[in-house]
Amino acid sequence: MDKYTLCAEDFSLDNQELLLGETLFHNANGYLGVRGCFEEGYPQGFSQVRGTYINGFYDFAYMGQAEKLHGLVEEKQTILNVADTQTITLKLEGETFSMFEGTVMKSRRVLDMRKGITLREIWWESPGGRQVRIKITRMASFVDTSLFLVRYELEPLNFDGTAELSSVHKGDVKNFFDPNDPRVAGEEIQHILIGETWEDGGASYILSNTSKSGKTVCSAVKNAAEEPEQVEAHGLSLEKGLARETFRVKLVRGKCFRLLKYTVLCDSCHFADPAGQAKEKLEALTAQPAKALYEGQERYLDAFWDTCEIDVNGDGELNRALTYNVYQLLQSVTKDRYGNIAAKGLSGEGYEGHYFWDTEMYILPFFTLTNREIARNLIGYRYQILENARENARQMGHKQGALYPWRTIMGSECSGYFPSGTAAYHISGDVAYSVVAYYLASGDLEFMEQCGAEIVVETARLWMDLGCWYQGKFHINEVTGPDEYTCMVNNNYYTNALAKYNLIWAAKLYGRLKEAGKADGLAERTGLTDGEAEAFVKTAEAVFLPYDEELGINPQDDSFLQKKLWDVSAIPEEDKPLLLHHHPLELYRYQVCKQADTVLAHFILEGEEALETIRKSYAYYEKVTTHDSSLSSCIFSLMAARLGMVEKAYGYFGDSAKMDLYNAHKNTKDGIHTANMGGSYMGIVYGFGGLRIREQGLSLRPCLPKQWEGYHFRFLYEDSVIEVRISRETCAVTLLRGTEKEIVIYDRPYVLRDRIEIPMEQGAGE
């Protein structure tokens, strides 16, 4: 089996495993996502999250605060389960197919990442002894992202007879909730209200409205038999919010019957006329042979894999996990500016479809290096919500600047718990950082002129308003850094270092635009002047960055080192993750980190500190970090690689790469961990590959874990596509397309014209 195929043979029917399978085998294309539930459902009493989601399609939900302090958020947005079109039930001569009855002789579930499909194949014997092979193929089309296509194939193995297939389209659906888990919705709410249900041209349509946000969604379903001559009778019945089409089919032993079920989803966040456009699309899609749709999907993926080729040689399982992660990033990411990438992609309801800093710091790097259009869309989304970020800043008492919401769908803050929500001001720095990272990798000054620079200037203004001068230094107080086990602190190193960078780059981008004669738009839209840009630089120079002389490390914040140490090595399994077993205040009083914080700062802003400080800090924070957040191990991996601790890097990398496939955090049933998936990509490219794209240019510092024979990856830099191939002996860098580039490898400068091949260095980074 190649790395593009994930296969579970004779998969378990245990309820927890099924929930996990729903996530792992979900189909998505960045616009819609469908969980991999069984078409025929599970037995009574089994739980399932039978969800279909649209990126950025949301409703509001009341989120009461027991104590109504001024400005606390009382309304959140939540991604919606929009319609169930997964359901297809089967009867063979009156016997209902269920994997929980009769005998499953053989079964397998497959995800094919080159074809962009999943399939479930079952060889089943009914209690009455009828044997059948059922193969169900699902596809969320990347070519027309409104389409979800199911092909249901049926082959009687030992009998002739009749089958009854019933295909259901249900609009009356709800979101999943669990009052005991802070990571999913806590209460049941009827978000979707059925408007109309109708039939047109043999297809069923359901138009629904959201209860509060004023949005609409139309789901359209059409079923078509590929062997119509086998259909003896069929009929479509409709009631409000429900359509059911039944086919009575003549079965002949050894002969296949196939039913195609087309679902088209159009919502009002993306389409001006959801019902009209759903109809147009459905008609156009059903008019072409299904084969063309499958071929289009394959072509799309051929191009995708070609540009973002990444491979580890010598560890098949890990390579598959890495491929899986990259594929999930594509499945999850919006293909336009109306959405973004949710913490769980479109695979589940964990974190309610909210967008976090995960996008900028963990996922955008992948797209910036492989797909500029998607990268621009992600930044474009932040530009679209810039006005909300300005309002959010005013709400928090700032006279100027933009404070991006910690978690959101449509732009306003959704976090009800401000100490680890609104207080995470670093989100604004993260957004600015990602704009600069895009600029450094692409050289796209035009995009900076259109929108990038404005984001960076507005976030810079936030720091100017937030910080205060004390003894000649600029301090930033009462904020929360990435580590959510330490909240509301003064001078969080990560936040301060990022604010400094943000301020410097606001002035730099302004300067570069001015030099190119392109600064007028920015100046007009923001009122930025030379004087303000100078003030940014002056302030940046004075930003206070905590440093402890005795330990030679950067303390996470002003008070971190004063706290008691939590013995992380002694945490019993049943106490993990700490957030589910300890009151936040208890955690805040200890030196214990949920995730990389200062260590992450040292990666993104490496030039800020001496390597020795970075090394000592790494050792210090490693001892107090639980990695309870999925955003942590990848960062510890890539910084270990930077510091020459290749074995350690390898260990953390495995934890990151396999996190969802091995359900390591035990919550993959709620959805994949997209940030970590981007993190595992970074683990290869920035970690082992040691790639950096800084203002000074492009550099590499590759190392190779002893367990692998080699690895390679491709990336875009300015106008070029570059491939890096590492083996035990050599590091080869090839210019696949574009113009020559200067590149520094192991601190030595080269000019990449065609190909450079140099010996690998042992102990790089030490």
Nearest-angstrom CA–CA distance, 265 and 216: 11
Token readout for 520 is 């007028």
CB atoms within 10 A of CB 748: 9
Name which of 487 and 605 has its Cβ closer to ligand BGC: 487
Nearest-angstrom CA–CA distance, 311 and 309: 7
Token readout for 189 is 């709410």
Nearest-angstrom CA–CA distance, 411 and 405: 7
Sequence-separated (6 or more) residues with CB below 8 Å from residue 29: 140, 141, 142, 145, 331, 335
Q: Which of 59, 164, 449, 484 binds ligand BGC (CB under 6 A)?
A: 484
Q: Please, what is the minimum distance in Å from the beta carbon of residue 595 to ligand BGC? A: 6
Site residues for ligand BGC, 425-454, by CB under 6 A, read none
Q: Is 295 a catalytic residue?
A: no
Name which of 362 and 711 has its Cβ closer to ligand BGC: 362
Q: Under the criterion CB under 6 A, does residue 498 sit at the interface with ligand BGC?
A: no
Name which of 367 and 494 has its Cβ closer to ligand BGC: 494
Q: Please, what is the minimum distance in Å from the beta carbon of residue 3 to ligand BGC? A: 26
Q: Which of 59, 358, 609, 655 binds ligand BGC (CB under 6 A)?
A: 358
Name which of 183 and 244 has its Cβ closer to ligand BGC: 183
Stretch in the footprint of ligand BGC (CB under 6 A) among 131-139, 314-322, 354-362, 614-622: 354-362
What is the DSSP secondary structure assignment for residue 625, as one 8-state letter?
B
Stretch in the footprint of ligand BGC (CB under 6 A) among 248-256, 351-359, 437-445, 554-562: 351-359
User: Which residue intervals of 474-559 are DSSP H helices?
Assistant: 493-515, 520-526, 530-542
Stretch in the footprint of ligand BGC (CB under 6 A) among 350-358, 388-396, 644-652, 712-720: 350-358
Q: What is the three-class DSSP state of 590?
A: strand
Q: Are strands 692-694 and 697-700 parallel, antiparallel or unpaired?
A: antiparallel
Q: Which of 341, 343, 476, 519 binds ligand BGC (CB under 6 A)?
A: 343
Nearest-angstrom CA–CA distance, 365 and 677: 11
Q: Under the criterion CB under 6 A, does residue 176 sit at the interface with ligand BGC?
A: no
Nearest-angstrom CA–CA distance, 468 and 459: 16
Q: Under the criterion CB under 6 A, does residue 22 sit at the interface with ligand BGC?
A: no
Q: Are the C-beta atoms of 223 and 259 separated by less than 8 Å?
A: yes
Q: Under the criterion CB under 6 A, does residue 402 sit at the interface with ligand BGC?
A: no
Name which of 454 and 484 has its Cβ closer to ligand BGC: 484
Token readout for 608 is 């800020």
Q: Which residues share a beta bridge with 124?
A: 104, 132
Which of 39, 352, 484, 532 is catalytic? The answer is 484
Q: Are the C-beta atoms of 323 and 305 separated by less than 8 Å?
A: no
Give the torsion sign (CA, 594, 595, 597, 598).
positive
Q: Are strands 730-737 and 755-759 parallel, antiparallel or unpaired?
A: antiparallel
Name which of 200 and 575 has its Cβ closer to ligand BGC: 575
Q: Under the criterion CB under 6 A, does residue 357 sit at the interface with ligand BGC?
A: yes
Closest to 38 measured CA to CA, from 112, 113, 88: 88
Name which of 213 and 629 has its Cβ closer to ligand BGC: 629
Q: Please, what is the minimum distance in Å from the beta carbon of residue 214 to ligand BGC? A: 27
Nearest-angstrom CA–CA distance, 230 and 573: 57
Q: Under the criterion CB under 6 A, does residue 631 sit at the interface with ligand BGC?
A: yes
Q: Under the criterion CB under 6 A, does residue 629 sit at the interface with ligand BGC?
A: yes
CB atoms within 10 A of CB 182: 12
Stretch in the footprint of ligand BGC (CB under 6 A) among 287-295, 298-306, 356-364, 605-613: 356-364
Q: Please, what is the minimum distance in Å from the beta carbon of residue 675 to ligand BGC? A: 5
Q: Which of 32, 341, 457, 675 binds ligand BGC (CB under 6 A)?
A: 675
Q: Are the C-beta atoms of 349 and 33 separated by less than 8 Å?
A: no
In the numeric block, the tokens 């490898």 are attached to 745
Site track for ligand BGC across 594-623, x = CB under 6 A = xx----------------------------
Residues designated as active site? 484
Site of interaction with ligand BGC (CB under 6 A):
343, 351, 356-358, 482, 484, 594-595, 629, 631, 675
